[in-house]
Structure 1
Amino acid sequence: MAKYQSDSIKNIALLGHSGDGKTALAEAMLLLAGAIDRVGGNLDFDPEEKKRGSSIAASLAAFEWKNKKINLLDTPGYFDFAGEVKQALRAADTAILVVDGKSGLKVGTELAWDYADKMPKCIFVNKTDDENANFDNVLAGLKEQFGNKVCPIVVPFEGAGKAKTFCNIITGEAFEYDAKGNAKKVSVDMSKFDGVKEELMEALAETDDDLMEKFLEEMELTDDEMLIALKKGLSNGIVCPVFSGSASAMTGISTFLDIIAEYFMSAAEKTEDGEVKLSANGDTALLCFKSVADAFGKKTFFRVMNGSLKKDTQLVNLRSEQNEKIARIYTCVGAKETEVEDLAWGDIGYTTKLAATNTGDTLGGKEAFAAIDYPKPYYRQAIVPKSKGDEDKISTGIAKLLEEDPTLKYENNAETKQMLVHGLGDIHLDVVASKLKSRYGVSIEYSEPKTAYRETIKKTLQTDGKHKKQSGGSGQYGHVKITFSRGEEEGLTFTQSVVGGSVPKNFYPAVEKGLLEAMQKGVLAGFPVVNLAADLFDGSYHPVDSNEISFKLAAILAYKQTINANPVILEPVGYLKVLIPTSYSGDIMGDVSKRRGRIMGMGESDRKGYTVIEAEIPSAEMNNYAIQLRAMTQGRGSYTFDFVRYEEAPGEIANKIIEEAKKAED
């Protein structure tokens, strides 16, 4: 591959609903450009992708077209892998939303639009070779959802049914394609698109005040003026052009590539945070947007955000403050890698063996680049090893997976004695389990996470705890009288009101230690005790037999009497904030009630047609909410859930919790 400067580099991300043909479109482009010699398996090369028949990770494919270098980032369509989409968009300059020409707008299209909200984007309507395709209906749906910025540029001459001829509304040219995707100009009656072109002129005129003035005066724009306006409108997000074709039939692909090469934003036009224009001549700085950690090592994918990069360059990681050597630089088409000597400003590549660098890190420069905004992993499961003694293997494998997947979270919960993994959904965690087995040789199953309950008391109670043991020689003697009550502080509030030295002060710490130890296991169901106040007010001691262990054990005996202080179970409660299409509001409200939730508020969202519902819900009722919300809203709902406080569990619920705890102990 020839060397390219930033003004000849196009960084493109493909996104959309799963199954709409993102990878097929990418491979059709690569085949036409001569970067691959066959379609299938070039970008979905991971064993998990081959097994599932769909993308689970973003893939980079660099190729040449019309003296331009195009870095294509193909992304998964499932929400479970939204982190991969976010990474690709952070490195890209333009997003292409791929839409099925038959089924049209889906939830994945809406999510893709949201993800690419603040960047240039266009739409490619795929599968127009299907007998049941209907471009006109799909376009109408896109305009209804996203507004009049959606502008058709290359459309099928046949508005419905199997498309053979594709027309450029701006230039008036029409093309047909052979089986290899080569375009041939044909003559058609373009007058049927006169109304479409007039609407397009008006939309493009919005990109420039002078152009709008001319359009209002003459009601006409030249083709050149429209093409210049297309480039400007796409770059600044005023218009979202629509193109069409079929990846499987290789129709419309070459025309689309011509427009990408000529009119899409180049890497030289990239701005960071919309204001600061980066420089080709500045100090080298890289944004590491993706990592792949497998059994063969670690790959770090980056974009050259400032300056240029040559191999063997030393750069400082601004987070870890460690020096990293970029010993080798690669570009690739999926798994097929090509080593290069250098990369220009704005180009994308990867390197290996960066020990102190994680996804999102900045290498070089003076200030770190903005972090990637990932969705939070609220879906969680407990890991159960299939073989005893595999815990260390699991921890090692998960640590590797965490390096490449920031939407994954892992914790070894000492309280519930479970290894918990958090992800974006059941498919996400299923992939985690598969990778642990295939990469690291450890098999796991999942179970429901246990809830971290607490206990406390509601009644004030005076207790008497005496430990006395005599077995020849020196004995053991400790005697305490303690008043227990509900405390204001979260843990133990320990006070002493002993009069007359009935308990020597040097034994106070032993009493407190005994209480703290005992509080780890409540008297009802064995859960940790919180908000406990204990006042040591009296007791007795033996001048010879009393010692610290005796008073510690006496305190524990006194504590056990709190079974008579009206002990209760406390359950964790969180604050739920759900964003859903308004039409689902009734279903979601009903579901919240079934989960013992209390509605705290409801109102319109800033997003058109959406409602926000807020509620407080016990955490125990939220284990599978991510999956169930997706099912209830056809994937359109999203939520946040954050711990708020502990509350007393209702009697029936508390009894069930106590019963289950006793069964588990037995």
Structure 2
Amino acid sequence: MADRNSGGAPGAAGRAPSADRPDMVRNVVLVGHSGAGKTTLVEALLAATGTTQRAGRVEDGTTVSDFDEVEVRQQRSVNLTLAPVVYNGIKINLLDTPGYADFVGDLRAGLRAADAALFVLAANEGVDGLSRMLWDECATVGMPRAVVITKIDHQRADFEELLALCQDAFGDGVAPLYLPHDGGLAGLLSRRFYDYSGGSRTERAPDADLLNLMEQYREGLIEGIIQESEDESLMERYLSGEEIDSKVLIDDLEKAVARGGFHPVLATGAGIGTQEVLELITQGFPSPLEHPMPEITTIQGRPVNGIVCDPEGPLVAEVVKTTSDPYVGRISLVRVFSGTLRPDQTVHVSGHGLTDRGHDDHDLDARIGALSSPLGKHQRTAAKCVAGDIAAVAKLSRAETGDTLSDKDSPLLMTAWTMPDPLLPVAIQAKSKADEDKLSQALSRLVAEDPTLRLENNAETHQLVLWCMGEAHADVLLDRLARRHGVEVEQVQLRVPLRETFGGKCQAMGRNVKQTGGHGQYAICHLEVEPLPSGRGFEFVDKIVGGVVPRQFIPSVEKGVRAQMERGVVAGYPMVDIRVTLYDGKAHSVDSSDMAFQIAGQLALKEASAKVPTLILEPVDEVAVLVSDEYVGAVMSDLSSRRGRVLGNEPVGRGRTLVRAEVPELEITRYSIDLRSMSHGTGTFTRTFLRYEPLPSHLADKVVST
């Protein structure tokens, strides 16, 4: 790292980065909220390695360059993007993730493709809820992490305060490697000051005051490194007063970072700290060889063991991001875990188990097109992609995000990464007949790109519903429909599927007697109708004696009752949870028929609705809200205001609480937006259908009257 005082020439400009061995690759995902400076940091790393010729220009407050012009055009970074660079002979795949919680699917795709994570935080801000959540996810899988504090040159920057917040939020093992000071960085291990004030880095000894400050932080850093060291004698030697050689400390630091047990904090600003970040990535972060292989099975589900990150091994790769363009076609961002991917190769595409969201489970062979190394809007041709590397693949027209690519003769399947459930329903309809004709194909392309999107054609409400992660996600999807695919749609009010049932027991008669010349219609049935407990459905009971209704017409009565139940009796919603007993009736030897008794059954059910109250039922969901402790009171109060019944809460991990409640579905159609606002982005929730319950009378009256 920089404390080794190692320089190194940057990668040559204009050359597509390539790697022949997994140990020469580093895959790093950048995580942080919007405005933290992820894209600016990537821009600086590109310039520092000679990958781009300029550091960017500013248009309307947004930095624009060859790298991020695409991001600006796509609504300020709502996609996972790849920027490969070369530093000291190591290819670094920088995966820049969206900074909005709505696009957590792309964030998790970046985590899947990476071997280490850089958490990017701004020195003039705090630690956001999304970063806390993703830190915990990384900790669960043991992913190596480091923190980069950006904007240290900002007038409101407070490095020490943000460092304390990081240590409080992220726990043990978080310690600074450098201290920003007077236009440079103080190296705590080397006790050297790296001065950037002249435009390039120079090195000198720190003055006495700075050295005293460095020693205060250096002690905590060394203790943290030694605690993670495999050499158990180091702590005893350190406590006895022995000066530990800096090379030993740096070696142990790098091992601790790679194992995910120690998390160094670096600092960057305008022209400051890029070399230190590059050296941490290349020397402290693990190569793909050290990253655990995801679970691999045959397409029949049998576990496959023994596959490792080897360019000569069987091909196992995964599509981590899909984009489509009406002119360019589909481009797939692929991480190769084993084997080597080459242009024009025939591969097997295996599906990923998201059929509930409108994604097909693929099981087919496909021939890939060209391989390229993407950089913003530019695609630089690549000859191959070895195990551990990432490349863009053209012409994978049948593959979707999350699909596995493998040898066509030995198809394999990688266990899909966990995707969050989309919880914001948005009902849409085409603006014109021309838009309606193109809508289906355009939506299928969006679904292929985005596994967090769920498409629903609701058979009850006859609405087309996009289930999204949030408002920003919905806005981007509708914008893509219009801009990429030329399809204009409009949002319409979401209809929640309600039900009807009877509020009491009664008897009713259905009389269908008509004489119109020739064969007429003759059917009379007497029914007893009564409500059943919630969830019991429908029961039909035959109590006919003496043949007053011929046996062949009894199923006709039931069929008519069921048909009327589907249409409802007061508000047009399906009827549920009733028992209908046929106990009497009359028939005619000539004029009775199947249809006549069907109509009689329908008329009897309508007559019953006039004798007893008909209840409108609403769906009730079981809701589990995971939120920071400080927002528990607000969440519980809000759920109660939504006609919810709070069942209780329980602590989950450090500083988080799970609140359980039963809430009517009508009240939580936009809960994902409200919860995010209420909890400052720290809250998440799940919902599961529980049962139907009567809608309050004042709301039911509105439903019946509309």
2:288·2:309 contact (CA, 8 Å) conserved in 1? no
- Confirm whether residue 614 of structure 1 aligns to residue 660 of structure 2: yes
Q: Which stretch has the larger CA shift, 278-287 or 169-178? A: 169-178
Alignment of 1:62-461 (within 5 A): 62-117=84-139, 118=141, 119-156=143-180, 158=181, 163-177=182-196, 182-189=200-207, 190-210=211-231, 211-246=234-269, 249-272=270-293, 278-280=308-310, 281-295=312-326, 296-319=328-351, 320-364=362-406, 367-388=412-433, 390-461=435-506
Q: Could you list the per-position Cα deviations for residues 366-393 of structure 1 after superposition, in whole angstroms to 9, with x for gaps in the alignment?
A: 6522312122111112113333563343
Q: Residue 560 of structure 1: which of 599, 606, 617 is its match?
A: 606
Do the aligned partners of residues 357 and 213 (structure 1) sit closer, same or farther apart at CA in structure 2, a change above 3 Å counting?
farther
2:426·2:491 contact (CA, 8 Å) conserved in 1? yes
Do the aligned partners of residues 51 and 330 (structure 1) sit closer, same or farther apart at CA in structure 2, a change above 3 Å counting?
closer
1:183·1:255 contact (CA, 8 Å) conserved in 2? no
Do the aligned partners of residues 164 and 132 (structure 1) sit closer, same or farther apart at CA in structure 2, a change above 3 Å counting?
same
Do the aligned partners of residues 485 and 10 (structure 1) sit closer, same or farther apart at CA in structure 2, a change above 3 Å counting?
same
Q: Which amino acid aligns with 2:177?
A: I
The match for 1:518 is 564
The match for 1:36 is 52
1:383·1:444 contact (CA, 8 Å) conserved in 2? yes
SS of residue in 2 equivalent to 1:440: coil
Between the aligned partners of 1:276 and 1:134, the Cα distance in structure 2 is 49
Q: Which amino acid aligns with 2:315?
A: T
Do the aligned partners of residues 205 and 167 (structure 1) sit closer, same or farther apart at CA in structure 2, a change above 3 Å counting?
same
Identity of aligned residues (%): 34
Do the aligned partners of residues 503 and 389 (structure 1) sit closer, same or farther apart at CA in structure 2, a change above 3 Å counting?
farther
TM-score of the superposed pair, with normalisation by structure 1: 0.93
TM-superposed CA distance for 1:195, in Å, is 2.3
TM-score of the superposed pair, with normalisation by structure 2: 0.88
The match for 2:59 is none
Q: Could you list the per-position Cα deviations for residues 483-540 of structure 1 after superposition, in whole angstroms to 9, with x for gaps in the alignment?
A: 2222466443222221122111222232222111111122221210011222222211
Do the aligned partners of residues 388 and 343 (structure 1) sit closer, same or farther apart at CA in structure 2, a change above 3 Å counting?
closer
Q: Which amino acid aligns with 1:238?
A: G
TM-superposed CA distance for 1:173, in Å, is 2.9
Q: Which amino acid aligns with 2:206?
A: V
Between the aligned partners of 2:575 and 2:65, the Cα distance in structure 1 is 56
Q: Which stretch has the larger CA shift, 596-605 or 257-266? A: 257-266
2:19·2:389 contact (CA, 8 Å) conserved in 1? no
- Confirm whether residue 571 of structure 1 aligns to residue 618 of structure 2: yes
1:16·1:112 contact (CA, 8 Å) conserved in 2? no
Q: Could you list the per-position Cα deviations for residues 189-214 of structure 1 after superposition, in whole angstroms to 9, with x for gaps in the alignment?
A: 33431121121111111222424344
The match for 2:5 is none
Q: Which amino acid aligns with 2:617?
A: L
Q: Could you list the per-position Cα deviations for residues 216-259 of structure 1 after superposition, in whole angstroms to 9, with x for gaps in the alignment?
A: 4445321111111111111111111001111xx22111222123
1:270·1:278 contact (CA, 8 Å) conserved in 2? no
1:270·1:277 contact (CA, 8 Å) conserved in 2? no
Do the aligned partners of residues 41 and 484 (structure 1) sit closer, same or farther apart at CA in structure 2, a change above 3 Å counting?
farther
TM-superposed CA distance for 1:575, in Å, is 0.8
- Confirm whether residue 15 of structure 1 aligns to residue 31 of structure 2: yes
2:183·2:197 contact (CA, 8 Å) conserved in 1? no
Q: Which runs of 4+ in 1 moved over 6 A?
A: 274-277
SS of residue in 2 equivalent to 1:272: coil
TM-superposed CA distance for 1:267, in Å, is 1.8
TM-superposed CA distance for 1:359, in Å, is 1.3
TM-superposed CA distance for 1:105, in Å, is 2.1
TM-superposed CA distance for 1:308, in Å, is 2.0
1:35·1:333 contact (CA, 8 Å) conserved in 2? no
Q: CA RMSD in A?
A: 2.1
Between the aligned partners of 1:353 and 1:327, the Cα distance in structure 2 is 5
SS of residue in 1 equivalent to 2:350: coil
2:350·2:412 contact (CA, 8 Å) conserved in 1? yes
SS of residue in 2 equivalent to 1:102: coil
SS of residue in 1 equivalent to 2:566: coil
- Confirm whether residue 547 of structure 1 aligns to residue 571 of structure 2: no
The match for 1:653 is 699
Do the aligned partners of residues 277 and 151 (structure 1) sit closer, same or farther apart at CA in structure 2, a change above 3 Å counting?
farther
Between the aligned partners of 1:474 and 1:109, the Cα distance in structure 2 is 77
Between the aligned partners of 1:108 and 1:174, the Cα distance in structure 2 is 34
TM-superposed CA distance for 1:578, in Å, is 1.0
TM-superposed CA distance for 1:12, in Å, is 0.6
TM-superposed CA distance for 1:337, in Å, is 0.8
TM-superposed CA distance for 1:123, in Å, is 0.5
Q: Which stretch has the larger CA shift, 596-605 or 189-198? A: 189-198
2:442·2:481 contact (CA, 8 Å) conserved in 1? yes
The match for 2:301 is none
Q: Could you list the per-position Cα deviations for residues 4-29 of structure 1 after superposition, in whole angstroms to 9, with x for gaps in the alignment?
A: 31111010111101101000000110
The match for 2:355 is none
Q: Which amino acid aligns with 2:251?
A: I
The match for 2:552 is 506
Between the aligned partners of 1:44 and 1:497, the Cα distance in structure 2 is 75
Between the aligned partners of 1:613 and 1:112, the Cα distance in structure 2 is 20
Q: Could you list the per-position Cα deviations for residues 333-360 of structure 1 after superposition, in whole angstroms to 9, with x for gaps in the alignment?
A: 1221112121121000121222332211
Q: Which amino acid aligns with 1:284?
A: L
TM-superposed CA distance for 1:621, in Å, is 0.5
Q: Could you list the per-position Cα deviations for residues 100-123 of structure 1 after superposition, in whole angstroms to 9, with x for gaps in the alignment?
A: 012232334323423433311100
Q: Which stretch has the larger CA shift, 573-582 or 205-214? A: 205-214
TM-superposed CA distance for 1:51, in Å, is 6.2
Between the two proteins, the alignment pairs up a number of residues equal to: 649
Q: Which stretch has the larger CA shift, 191-200 or 74-83? A: 191-200
SS of residue in 2 equivalent to 1:390: helix
SS of residue in 2 equivalent to 1:70: strand
- Confirm whether residue 57 of structure 1 aligns to residue 62 of structure 2: no
2:128·2:681 contact (CA, 8 Å) conserved in 1? no
1:75·1:85 contact (CA, 8 Å) conserved in 2? yes
Between the aligned partners of 1:363 and 1:347, the Cα distance in structure 2 is 14
